[in-house]
Structure formats: structure tokens, C-alpha cells
């Protein structure tokens, strides 16, 4: 197999299995089958060894053909496992073609084998259920899913046939003595499973051993025979069940990891490791929804100055390094409450929920200083610093109240103009659902960013490396910009 066991811990190994090549996974399935066959072989050896004691419950003369069959199948599966582990030396095309054949050669005989063992060892719902479900699940994880599904159906068909066979007069070999339990008893009384087992075993003993029937021997047998067969079925089913649950758990853990990985890539900017624009906007929208009454909401748009010149002078790689280091500076300077994202090429969006204008101005000024102070080292001889321009806008709680009110009125008007559905009264103006009355316009984020962007332009116009507040601009320029972004 391509992955060497000693170099991997068991956790990493079980995860690595899912990344293995198909041939290796099929070989692993062959190894699992071999282990299961060996367990059956050991059980036969155990019964044979204690045949004097267990002969009362087991048809020993049937044990030998079963044991022989298990040995033959063990050798067969061992041969397949060996062949599969050599298969990976072949080229991919030949390997894939051969692999299908080998997978079928593995799972079809296994299906007949396990069905035979289940039938001969006495149809226990535990043993049959675990074998059916577990085998199918393992198959789905390790080989072609189509094959695993078909083999699963074949196993169900075989077990159903085996269950129905006695009703058609076909007597299948069964190691368990006296296994015919007719579902429709002549007795009017309801018998529990244990009582049935006890009677069955007592009868078997009386028939084959000439033991006198009495209730003490019944309870004796109930304890011994039932215990023996239950223990057998648990022994044969449990390792498979534990292993399958473990593999399933590993599979779910892998799926969780992949989901987190996908989410990370979907939400994160790869270069700067900040949130990307889409995720930044989603979080901004969420923060606006969660804004409490009386709280202000500030937005900063930060753009690096003369960034094209940095690319032209030092190359794109250094440009990338600058973007990464500026992103680090921002993350270090801001608290977790701030939402920092890469908004565009060399532009960053910083959202400060529940932050007043004065507080946001202080933060923006500090960010500007931090960036200009930060030295970017290109190599041992060369270093430089960059500056940034920042546009800030604070959406005050008074504006928020006004906007919500205007929106509510607009929605009420729209509702009033809508024709009422047939048979239903028209909504009264004040009858809008409460959530409607707290809504900000759907494009509120764009409006706030657009306003901050105007301040950013102004900062660039004024000579860069500075912070400009859109709120101050509105006061000084008679609200011209306010109208432009619809605030
Ligand atoms: N290295 C690098 N450069 C980028 C990336 N994204 C955008 N840019 C470059 O950033 C530059 C932005 O240039 P401009 O929009 O002219 O802005 P500027 O040179 O910073 O000038 P002002 O913004 O007016 O100060 C362009 O040359 C883009 O190619 C990136 O991910 N990596």
C-alpha cells in the first residue's frame, strides 16, 4: 500500500485512507474481509476445541464443512489482497480497468460467503443487520459506490431467500440445533424469545442426548445455549460494528473539516488573510441589523497611496507583500469588534459597529499613523514605508431613526396601493408587521460605503495621507454629498 502505517498515527491514518488511491482502498477492504474471515475461522476452532461442552447446541458434523469453506475463502481473499497491493505498479489506465474487475471479484464472492455464514450460524438480527448495513457502508467508503449498492441488494435478496426457504420445504444447513421456530404456534399463550429458545434447546438435548425433560433443565439450557449463541452473534458482529462506526465518525470529521476549509476559502481573501469583500459586506449587514437604539455606526474606506508606483518600482511581489503587511497592521490595531475586509485591490473596508464619529476619527487617525510608521523591508538593503488615505462616515442613530421612519412610511404607502387579495381585508396603514417598521433600506451598506468613498476621494484630492470625515464635509458643503448617496 502507498501509505506506510508506522509513520502515521491512527487518527491521521484513518483520515489518510480517504485520500488513498482506489487500488489501495480496495486492498484495504480485502484486508478487512480477511480479518473478518479469520474471526470466523477462530470461532470454528473454538467450537471444535470445546466440542464436548458445546456439542449440545452446535451440529458439529456441519462445523467441518463450514470451517473448510471459511479456510478456502480466507485463502481466496488473501490472494486478492496480495494482488491488489501489487496493482498500483501498473499504469493508471490499465489499473482502473483491472480494478473494477478485482473489486467485483472481491465483493461478489464475499456477499455469498457472508450470507452463507449468517445462515449457517443462525439468523441473528444483530449479526445479519450489522453485516448488511456495515458491509454496505464500508463498501461505499472504499470501493465503487455502485458496486457496494448492488452487492447490498444482493445480500438482502439472499437473506430473504434463506428466511423463506423453510416455508417452501427447503432445509438450509444450520449449525444451531433445532432452529425451526414456527411463527404461528398452536399454543394460545404468548412465549417470550428466551422461553422459546429454552424449549428449543431442551427439545434438542432430549432428542440428541436422551436427557429427561424437566423445568430445571430448561432454565439451565436457557442460560447456557442462549448465552452461547448470543455471545457468538455479538462476537461476530461487534468488531465490524465498532470499526464501521469509527470509520463513519472519521468520514464526518473529514466532511466537517472540508466544510470549514471551503467556507474559509469562500470568505477569506487569500493574499491578505482578511475577510473578502463579499463576506465583509455580509457581516456589515448583520452588524447593522444588530445595531441597538441610540448607537452610531461608522464606516472607514482606506486606500493605499501611489500603490501603482510601488508595483512599478519594486514589482508585483513586493506590492503583494505591502498589502499583506498593511492588512496585518490593521488587524493588530483593531479590536475583534471591528469588521476588516479587503474591499478591492489596495482598498480596505473597516466597519466599526456601535462607534461614534469622534471614536471612529481617533481610530482612523491611529490607523493612518500605524501604516505610515510601518517599515516594509524588501531585502537587507532596501526598505520603505507607505501611506494611506481614509474616508470616514458615521451613520448616527438620529439618521438611523429618520431612515427607518421614512422606510416604514414608504412600505405602508406601497401596501396601501397594493390591491387587497380576494376575500381578505386591505391592510390598515398601522397594520404592517413589526419587523418592517425597524428595517433600513436594503441598499444601506452600499449607501454608507459610497458616502465614505466620497470622503476618501476628498482625502486623495487634499494631498493623500490623511483622514477625511464625510460627516464634516456634509456640514461644510451644505449636504451636497448626502443627496448623492441617498443618505
Ligand atoms: N501587487 C498587487 N497589486 C495590485 C493588486 N490589486 C491591485 N493592484 C494594483 O494596484 C494599483 C492601483 O493603482 P491606482 O488605482 O492607480 O491607485 P494608486 O496608484 O494607489 O494611486 P492613488 O490611489 O490615487 O493614490 C494598480 O496598479 C493595480 O494593478 C494586488 O493584489 N497585488
Domain CATH for 389? 3.30.70.270
The whole-number pLDDT of residue 13 equals 62
Tell which one of 311, 323, 376 to mutate to probe ligand 1, the residue whose CB is within 8 A of the most ligand atoms: 311
Query: For residues 422 and 60, what is the distance between their CA atoms, to the nearest angstrom?
Result: 81
Residues 170 and 92 in one domain: yes
- My answer on whether 303 and 388 are in the same domain is yes
Q: What is the CA(464)–ligand 1 centre distance, in A? A: 15
Nearest protein Cα to ligand 1, atom 29: 308
Residue 279 has pLDDT above 50, yes or no: yes
The pLDDT assigned to 26 comes to 84
Q: Is residue 461 in contact with ligand 1, taking CB distance under 6 Å?
A: no
Residue 331 lies in a domain: yes
Q: What is the pLDDT of residue 2?
A: 45
Q: Both 252 and 323 in a single domain?
A: no
At residue 184, the pLDDT reads 42
For atom 12 of ligand 1, which residue has the closest CA? Answer: 308
* 214 shares its domain with 286: no
Q: What is the pLDDT of residues 227-248, one digit of tens each?
A: 777 788 888 888 888 888 887 8
Q: Which atom of ligand 1 is nearest to the CA of 322?
A: 1
Residue 271 domain flag: no
CA of 317, closest atom in ligand 1? 1
CB atoms within 10 A of CB 419: 6
Q: Beta strand 467-469 with 388-395: parallel, antiparallel or unpaired?
A: parallel
Q: Does residue 422 belong to any structural domain of this protein?
A: no
How many domains does the structure of the chain reveal?
2
Task: Give the range among 85-94, 133-142, 168-177, 270-279 with minimum mean pLDDT.
Answer: 85-94
Is residue 469 predicted with pLDDT exceeding 90?
yes
Of 211, 245, 266, the residue at which a domain comes to its end is 266
Same domain for 123 and 201, yes or no, is yes
Q: What is the DSSP string of 395-412?
A: E-HHHHHHHHHHHHHHHH
Residue 127 CB-density burial (10 A; 0-12 exposed, 13-18 middle, 19+ buried): buried
Say what the pLDDT of residue 181 is: 38
Tens of pLDDT along 31-41?
Answer: 889 999 999 99
In a domain, 56, yes or no: yes
Q: How far is the CA of 310 from the centre of ligand 1 (A)?
A: 8
> Could you tell me which of 31, 14, 16 has the C-alpha nearest to residue 245?
14
Nearest to 237 by CA among 385, 383, 376, 122: 122
Is residue 217 packed enough to be buried (19+ CB in 10 Å), middle (13-18) or exposed (0-12)? middle
**Which phi-psi region, left, alpha or beta, contains residue 395 (left: φ > 0; alpha: ψ -120 to 50)?**
beta
Q: Name the residue with the closest Cα to ligand 1, atom 6.
A: 345
Ligand 1 atom 27 nearest Cα: 308
Give 4's pLDDT tier (boundaries 50, 70, 90).
very low
* Ligand 1 site-directed mutation target among 307, 309, 343, 386, most atoms within 8 Å of CB: 307
CA of 457 from ligand 1 middle (Å) equals 15
391: which strand partners? 301, 468
Q: Tell me which residue has its CA closest to atom 8 in ligand 1.
A: 345
Same domain for 313 and 400, yes or no, is yes
- Return mean pLDDT, the chain: 82
Domain-located, residue 476: yes
The ipTM estimated for the assembled molecules is: 0.98
For residue 173, how far is its CA from the centre of ligand 1 (angstroms)?
A: 81
Is the pLDDT confidence value at 179 over 50? no
Find cell 449498492 and name the residue.
Answer: 149
Q: Cα separation of 154 and 112, whole Å?
A: 9
Q: Clarify whether residues 91 and 57 are in a common domain.
A: yes
In a domain, 423, yes or no: no
For residue 469, how far is its CA from the centre of ligand 1 (angstroms)? 23
Last residue of a domain, one of 246, 266, 286: 266
Q: Are residues 155 and 218 in the same domain?
A: yes
Q: Which pLDDT band, with edges at 50, 70 and 90, does 46 fall under?
A: very high
DSSP, collapsed to helix, strand or coil, labels residue 295 as coil
Q: Find the domain containing 448 and state its range.
A: 277-416+428-485
* Cα of 304 from ligand 1 centre, angstroms: 8
Q: Is 190 exposed, middle or buried (0-12, 13-18, 19+ CB in 10 A)?
A: exposed
How far, in Å, is the centroid of ligand 1 from the Cα of 288? Answer: 30
Percent of the chain residues past pLDDT 70, beyond the cut: 77
> 302 and 226 in one domain?
no
| Cα of 271 from ligand 1 centre, angstroms | 14
421 part of a folded domain? no
**Contact call for residues 430 and 418 (beta carbons, < 8 A):** no
Is there a single domain that holds both residue 326 and residue 252?
A: no
The answer to whether residue 272 is domain-embedded is no
Q: Is the CB of 303 under 6 A from ligand 1?
A: yes
Q: CA 406 to CA 75: how far, in whole Å?
A: 82
**pLDDT at site 355:** 96
Q: Is the CB of 465 under 6 A from ligand 1?
A: no
* Separation of CA 345 and ligand 1 centre (Å): 6
Q: Are residues 144 and 165 in the same domain?
A: yes
Residues 213 and 358 reside in one and the same domain: no
Under 8 Å between Cβ of 233 and 127 = yes
Q: Which residues pair with 463 in a beta bridge?
A: none
- Give which of 451, 339, 347 is closest to 395, Cα–Cα: 451
Q: Decide which of 212, 238, 266 is a domain's last residue.
A: 266
Amino acid at each position: 500500500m502507498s501509505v506506510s502505517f508506522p509513520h502515521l498515527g491512527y487518527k491521521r491514518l484513518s483520515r489518510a485512507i480517504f485520500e488513498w488511491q482506489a487500488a489501495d482502498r480496495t486492498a484495504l477492504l480485502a484486508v478487512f474481509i480477511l480479518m473478518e474471515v479469520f474471526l470466523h475461522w477462530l470461532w470454528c476452532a473454538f467450537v471444535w476445541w470445546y466440542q464436548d461442552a458445546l456439542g449440545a447446541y452446535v451440529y458439529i458434523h456441519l462445523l467441518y464443512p463450514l470451517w473448510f469453506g471459511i479456510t478456502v475463502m480466507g485463502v481466496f481473499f488473501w490472494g486478492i489482497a496480495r494482488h491488489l497491493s501489487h496493482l498500483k505498479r501498473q499504469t493508471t489506465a490499465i489499473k482502473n480497468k483491472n480494478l473494477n474487475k478485482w473489486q467485483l471479484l472481491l465483493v461478489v464472492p464475499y456477499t455469498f460467503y457472508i450470507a452463507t455464514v449468517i445462515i449457517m450460524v443462525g439468523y441473528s438480527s444483530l449479526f445479519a443487520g450489522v453485516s448488511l448495513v456495515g458491509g454496505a457502508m464500508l463498501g461505499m467508503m472504499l470501493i465503487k459506490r455502485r458496486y457496494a449498492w448492488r452487492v447490498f441488494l444482493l445480500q438482502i435478496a439472499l437473506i430473504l431467500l434463506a428466511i423463506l426457504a423453510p416455508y417452501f420445504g427447503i432445509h438450509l444447513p444450520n449449525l444451531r440445533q433445532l432452529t425451526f421456530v414456527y411463527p404461528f404456534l398452536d399454543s394460545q399463550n404468548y412465549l417470550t424469545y428466551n422461553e422459546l429458545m429454552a424449549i428449543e434447546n431442551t427439545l434438542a438435548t432430549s432428542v440428541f442426548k436422551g436427557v429427561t425433560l424437566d423445568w430445571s433443565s430448561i432454565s439451565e439450557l436457557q442460560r447456557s445455549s442462549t448465552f452461547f449463541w448470543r455471545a457468538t452473534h455479538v462476537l461476530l458482529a461487534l468488531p465490524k460494528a465498532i470499526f464501521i462506526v469509527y470509520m463513519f465518525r472519521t468520514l464526518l470529521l473529514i466532511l466537517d473539516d472540508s466544510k470549514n476549509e471551503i467556507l474559509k476559502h469562500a470568505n477569506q481573501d487569500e493574499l491578505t488573510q482578511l475577510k473578502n469583500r463579499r463576506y465583509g459586506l455580509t457581516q456589515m449587514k448583520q452588524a447593522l441589523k444588530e445595531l441597538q437604539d441610540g448607537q452610531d455606526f461608522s464606516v472607514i474606506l482606506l486606500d493605499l497611496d501611489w500603490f501603482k508606483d510601488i508595483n512599478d518600482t519594486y514589482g508585483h511581489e513586493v506590492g503583494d507583500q505591502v498589502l499583506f503587511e498593511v492588512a496585518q497592521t490593521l488587524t493588530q490595531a483593531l479590536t475583534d469588534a471591528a469588521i476588516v475586509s479587503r474591499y478591492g485591490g489596495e482598498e480596505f473596508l473597516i466597519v466599526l459597529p456601535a462607534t461614534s464619529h469622534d471614536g471612529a476619527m481617533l481610530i482612523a487617525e491611529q490607523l493612518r499613523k500605524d501604516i505610515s510608521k510601518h517599515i516594509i523591508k524588501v531585502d537587507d538593503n532596501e526598505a520603505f514605508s507607505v501611506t494611506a488615505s481614509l474616508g470616514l462616515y458615521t451613520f448616527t442613530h438620529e439618521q438611523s431613526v429618520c431612515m427607518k421612519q421614512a422606510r416604514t412610511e414608504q412600505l405602508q404607502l406601497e401596501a396601501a396601493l397594493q390591491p387587497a387579495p380576494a376575500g381578505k381585508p386591505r391592510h390598515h396603514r398601522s397594520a404592517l408587521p413589526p419587523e418592517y417598521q425597524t428595517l433600513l433600506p436594503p441598499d444601506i451598506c452600499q449607501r454608507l460605503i459610497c458616502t465614505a468613498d466620497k470622503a476618501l476621494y476628498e482625502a486623495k484630492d487634499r494631498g493623500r495621507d490623511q483622514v477625511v470625515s464625510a460627516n464634516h464635509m456634509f456640514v461644510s458643503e451644505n449636504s451636497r454629498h448626502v443627496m448623492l448617496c441617498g443618505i
